[in-house]
Amino acid sequence: MAEPQYGATRSDTYRDGVVDVFQDIARIHDGPAVVRNEAGVTVFGYDEVLHVTKRRDVHSSDPDLTVLMSGLIGTGRPLIPLMLDGPEHTKYRRLLDPLFAPKEVAKIEKRTKALCDELINEFVDQGHADLYEQFCDPLPSQIFLTLLGLPLEDLKFLQWFKDGIIRPTDEEHRSAVSPKMVSYIYDEFDRRAVLEDPGDDLFGGFMRAEIDGQRLSREDVVDIVFLLVMAGLDTVAASLSCMLEWLARHPSERQQLIDDPSGWPAAIEELLRIQTPVVAGARFATADFTLGDEKIQAGEMLQVHWAAANLDGTAFEHPVDIDFTRAGNRHIAFASGFHRCLGSTLARMELRVALETLHTRIPDYALDPAHPAGINNTGIRNVDPLPVVFAPG
């Protein structure tokens, strides 16, 4: 294998089709924690990533390009709260964070379990399944439809939308999804706006919400919902697929969790750390500062590598070993700093309930030897397809 190209956003280290790339990613730390090359500045070290993401003079998007980027995505306005920084970002996070607090997420746990069972019922008697297509991918979309109070009949539309944003089939798919999603959300807002009560779901909550004594505008609601759907569906599906693929290859560790389900939360944290589905993210400096041996200049883009940071031996002992009893697991698979994932509590609940339910119903399964799994290690790491076989029923 070629030596890792320090600073590259995609190299042999992150090549597709390789099941366990973790040792290769960890070898990045044989080089410097901060690297400058023709692509810009890349930040690999755990402490350095935390430093960058906690600086107020480092933003989530280039201030000069925010309008252009949001136009390409579909709304023509900054997505809330992802493309906001400083006081504006804080204002909206104070509104949104409580909506995804543990006590709120707990309210839909039973419904999440029921959705898991409904999906499993479709293939449990067949003895085989593509777990990505039949379980991992539809589950987060169904949960979001439930949260937002939208009809489950719209499941295929939501999946088509998020695929068009993250991994479109072609240019026509990519360009079509955003305008249709914006129109879909506007239509839902207008439908509810004439009702006396817009609903007790998340969508209705946005319509009633106030900031500084004023209701969110129609545009605000559209921008928030657009981002939540875009960001909240694929990452959970990807994480779940990675975990199930690993568990399929490690039956003894899987059996330990089946025998003692109390171990699922810690196992999920460790698998998130070592697999880190969202490999990297961009940040933009708005002031000059020093990072390691590099002089960062205002206007420069920095790539922060969550995947590499989570395998940094200065932050994690034996970083490439998967240890479900690891103490003080301070991974940053949900990002870090001011833009840490809004829905991390929801994602953890979804992953836990999905894994517990599937392994209760189908405890003994294996990767299908006749149909290889599709390992994608770049962008958002996932396993699609994920064919498995098991005893029917």
**How high is the pLDDT of residue 83?**
87
Q: Name which of 250, 242, 234 is nearest 377 in CA terms.
A: 242
The tally of domains found in the chain comes to 1
For residue 270, CA distances in Å to 70, 213, 264, 348, 364 come to 34, 42, 10, 12, 22
Answer whether residue 7 is part of any domain.
no
Answer whether residue 6 is part of any domain.
no
Torsion of CA 193, 195, 198, 203, to 10 degrees: -40
pLDDT in tens, 219-256: 999 999 998 888 888 999 999 999 999 999 999 999 99
**How high is the pLDDT of residue 6?**
38
Domain span at 66: 12-390
Q: Express as a percent the part of the chain with pLDDT over 70.
A: 94
Q: Name which of 151, 142, 136, 27 is nearest 373 in CA terms.
A: 136
What would the mean pLDDT of 19-35 be, rounded to a whole number?
A: 93
DSSP string, 37-102: ETTEEEE--HHHHHHHHT-TTEESS-TTTHHHHHHHHTSSSPPTTTT--HHHHHHHHHHHGGGGSH
The CATH code of the domain that includes 86 is 1.10.630.10
Answer whether residue 54 is part of any domain.
yes
Answer whether residue 49 is part of any domain.
yes
Burial class (CB in 10 A: 0-12, 13-18, 19+), 102: exposed
| Average pLDDT score, the chain | 92
- C-alpha angle with apex 92: 83 to 174, nearest 5 degrees? 35
C-alpha–C-alpha distance, residues 109 and 170, integer Å: 36
The overall pTM is greater than 0.75: yes
**How high is the pLDDT of residue 230?**
83
**How high is the pLDDT of residue 12?**
62
List, in sequence order, the alpha helices (H) in the chain.
Answer: 22-26, 46-53, 66-73, 86-96, 102-105, 109-121, 131, 138-148, 155-166, 171-193, 202-208, 218-232, 234-249, 251-259, 264-275, 306-309, 344-361
pLDDT in tens, 45-54: 999 999 999 9
pLDDT tops 50 at residue 1: no
C-alpha–C-alpha distance, residues 215 and 236, integer Å: 31
C-alpha–C-alpha distance, residues 383 and 374, integer Å: 5
Identify the DSSP state of 189. Answer: H
The answer, yes or no, to whether the previous bond of 265 is cis (omega within 30 of 0) is no
**How high is the pLDDT of residue 379?**
86
Answer whether residue 247 is part of any domain.
yes
Q: Sort strands 280-285 and 289-291 into parallel, antiparallel or unpaired.
A: unpaired
Q: Are 80 and 92 in contact (CB under 8 A)?
A: yes
Q: What are the tokens at 382?
A: 């996932």
Answer whether residue 5 is part of any domain.
no
Q: Name which of 346, 349, 357 is nearest 115 in CA terms.
A: 357
Answer whether residue 214 is part of any domain.
yes
Q: What are the tokens at 288?
A: 């000059």
Q: If pLDDT is split at 50, 70 and 90, which confidence band does 77 have? A: confident
Grouping H, G, I as helix, E, B as strand and the rest as coil, residue 16 is coil
Answer whether residue 1 is part of any domain.
no
